Chains A and B, each alone.
Chain A
């Protein structure tokens, strides 16, 4: 059975087509779905596309940022208002992949990919999804944890509060190949500071579990404290807690557990 391609003008129609067909996948930039087809994934029988302009909209002028799911990483890099996300966008693929890959697709990218989702998790983003029954907002953590069951839903956009300062959001990807390579581990931290103290810290880790996860113990070590050497040491020591990294060709789970604290320390202390 050849694959059927269905193209719709609105996301509503596309979502309906997705939810009514188990073999349907939404085609964003192609880096996941076309790869699966190239590798002989016959579970995909229908490709769904949508031409809705809302999918490629970026609203970053105010304090709340909304990025359409169809926005590419090249586009993120072209948006001055999204400078805090440039390190994360630049860490993905080479130029061609960044011209193709989308923010929405990255939410579905499994290890060792999906670095942008790590950044979004640290930003406490909300994912707007459209299912067969209408649209709703899902916290990104819940979205990621249930994404295996989300193939029938269409991600429309992500939105989050813009970090108050350039220093409040930090990102670091450890790869063996530079400047391009799959993630050994990926770290992102959002550290809102109020009166010198960290409030609502968010530490997100990629490749430390099946999906990006929050390092809650490290977050607790930071909460309400000043970002000094003692706090950083406590957070670094707690980084590995609750993680379950797997072995893959890039690194062993053991190695990931060994280095996650080291890199969290460097991230928090602003070391290169």
Chain B
């Protein structure tokens, strides 16, 4: 099945591959086929309690009153946890790398922003007793107008989803409400084109649906530490997030994980660990918090929906001369990782094609939907779907074969990319050629002979004059405090650190190196 085409770019490497192209057994295979691989839920702990969460039944509502008095008296209930019990009940995942503002509570306090948002956690002796207590929690909602569409959310007068971002758009570097890419003069390019094609693309949210649902078990250890068995895909990321939310040093926790029953990006959000640990802290007992399947679908974050507009100018001979893109990421009610997805998306424009005039605006938008997160190439996948649909339509418009059309427009070595970097080690042409060959798709001789290493650079390396744009300075305050911010605990702990200054590209922190595109720093 696997075929290595070593003939392509053969002179660029020594043909001394030892592993690539050969099957190598997984080191965990024996555990998998014998059922002895240990997942987080495969731990049986003495006296373990069960945590269940009462979730919002409204997509957007003010919480007038939360009455847990009956639930507290319900049989088997060990502890009810409310937002006020969470030491730092406001967080954003990427705050660990100083990116974005804290915008999401562990348990909602005065408002809920999506259906399924956690409000109250119940720790009980058995799942059944937790369910019975859940039915006794009374929540008085005042429904608020909700917004579910990214474009509606950006309109003036739209309901404010998340007060941390009052314009319903993530704010980059305290200034920009979107990611912007400008290369050449797209309006001139469009005006000069033989054909202009504008299309709208929409992708719905996609749930990872891991076979193992998100969950964790937290147990008090000796010396005031906690052992946490977790399904997380990002062990130390989750550990640090818990340390922040629970306001304790990270060495309080011993996280055990790594064997994950399917993640695909959906297990990086630290959905269950903070409450499981808090439950263990408040009861002194091991606490297990596992999402049911419906919770996984409703509350577990999906790949976000995206709406994409592409307007292309193309010449009769098939050259794309201008590409204008407006993309809107549906982040749901909170940021999680969508701010980063928008950065990745902007970095991906205009796709792997040499286009002299490119204009991109990418927004991360808040709506009253389940918060979105990472999933396999997030930020790029939907954009690629849109761009490649558009490529087929453009080829049709100019009467060209779609494979040949891609070969004609593909990056070649020495071309200038829209990000003002020289294209190197390009291989799209060769990939299309091999794909055509495999699919027995006829392409003309000149396209069979095309090469990523020929005919690049020169005029294709030019940077067209790019008009300057003025922008309105940000109106949002640099760090908005909300009612969720607890007053600093006076005696026990130092106050939480002040909001970090905007990151400086020339001095990225350790974490920044791994998320370099967030800061626009250069990878090495």
* Residues of A participating in the B interface, judged by any CB pair closer than 8 Å: 1-3, 38-40, 42
Query: Is B75 within 8 A of A1, CB to CB?
Result: yes
Closest to B126 in A: A2
Q: Is residue B90 within 8 Å, beta carbon to beta carbon, of the partner chain?
A: no
Question: Among residues 282 to 297 in chain B, which have CB atoms less than 8 Å away from a CB atom of chain A?
Answer: 292, 294
CA distance A40 to B75 in the complex (A): 15
CB distance from B84 to the nearest CB of A (A): 25
Query: Is A42 within 8 A of B128, CB to CB?
Result: yes
Query: Is B292 within 8 A of A3, CB to CB?
Result: no
User: Which secondary structure dominates chain B's binding surface?
Assistant: helix
B292: A residues at CB distance < 8 A: 38-40
Q: Is residue B131 within 8 Å, beta carbon to beta carbon, of the partner chain?
A: yes
Given contacts A39-B294, A40-B131, 6 further A-B contacts (CB under 8 A): A1-B128, A1-B132, A39-B292, A40-B52, A40-B292, A42-B135
B126: A residues at CB distance < 8 A: 2
CA distance A38 to B290 in the complex (A): 12
A40: B residues at CB distance < 8 A: 52, 127-128, 131, 134, 292
Closest to B207 in A: A249
CB distance from B485 to the nearest CB of A (A): 33
CB distance from B252 to the nearest CB of A (A): 32
Smallest CB-CB A-B distances: 8 pairs: A40-B131, A42-B131, A42-B132, A42-B135, A39-B292, A2-B128, A39-B294, A1-B132
Question: Among residues 121 to 145 in chain B, which have CB atoms less than 8 Å away from a CB atom of chain A?
Answer: 126-128, 131-132, 134-135
A42: B residues at CB distance < 8 A: 128, 131-132, 135
Closest to A40 in B: B131
| Among B52, B75, B128, B294, contact of A3 (Cβ-Cβ < 8 Å) | B128
CA distance A3 to B127 in the complex (A): 12
Closest to A3 in B: B128
CB distance from B366 to the nearest CB of A (A): 24
- Interface 0/1 of B24-64, CB less than 8 Å to A: 00000000000000000000000000001000000000000
CA distance A86 to B135 in the complex (A): 42
A3: B residues at CB distance < 8 A: 128
- Interface 0/1 of B131-172, CB less than 8 Å to A: 110110000000000000000000000000000000000000
B128: A residues at CB distance < 8 A: 1-3, 40, 42
B52: A residues at CB distance < 8 A: 40
Question: Among residues 269 to 321 in chain B, which have CB atoms less than 8 Å away from a CB atom of chain A?
Answer: 292, 294
A2: B residues at CB distance < 8 A: 126, 128
A38: B residues at CB distance < 8 A: 292
B134: A residues at CB distance < 8 A: 40
Closest to B132 in A: A42
Question: Among residues 49 to 97 in chain B, which have CB atoms less than 8 Å away from a CB atom of chain A?
Answer: 52, 75
CA distance A42 to B74 in the complex (A): 13
CA distance A91 to B128 in the complex (A): 33
Offer 14 A-B interface pairs, CB within 8 angstroms, sorted by A.
Answer: A1-B128, A2-B126, A2-B128, A3-B128, A38-B292, A39-B292, A39-B294, A40-B52, A40-B127, A40-B131, A40-B292, A42-B128, A42-B132, A42-B135
